[in-house]
Amino acid sequence: MDDKLKRKIMLFYAGGIMNALLGLYVLIEGLSFLTADTARTLAIVFFVFAAVDFYLPYSLKQRWLANNPGVQSSNNDPVQRS
């Protein structure tokens, strides 16, 4: 895999972690400054974005593997998924 794609995947993972942490923060501390419905909606939005941020790297890697069937990456996953 090229470095540009690896960097993009790492940024998606970092964004997913950040969104998950923000969703947890809103769930824990959001009720002190937001109404319950608003806090719940905001937390759901953050968790949905976190799920998308964790799905997109998987999708990018699968698309790259489909487009480059003969190329093996230098850092193969120890678990082979088929």
Q: What is the domain partition of the chain in residue ranges?
A: 9-66
16 touches 53 (CB < 8 A):
yes
d(CA 79, CA 52): 23
47 touches 26 (CB < 8 A):
no
* Distance linking the first and last C-alpha atoms of the chain: 18
> Residue 76 CA to chain centroid, in angstroms?
20
pLDDT of amino acid 65: 84
pLDDT of amino acid 80: 59
Averaged in consecutive runs of 10 residues, what is the pLDDT profile of the chain (82 residues)? 86 94 93 91 95 92 84 60 58
Instruction: Tell whether pTM > 0.95.
Output: no
Does residue 43 sit in helix, strand or coil?
helix
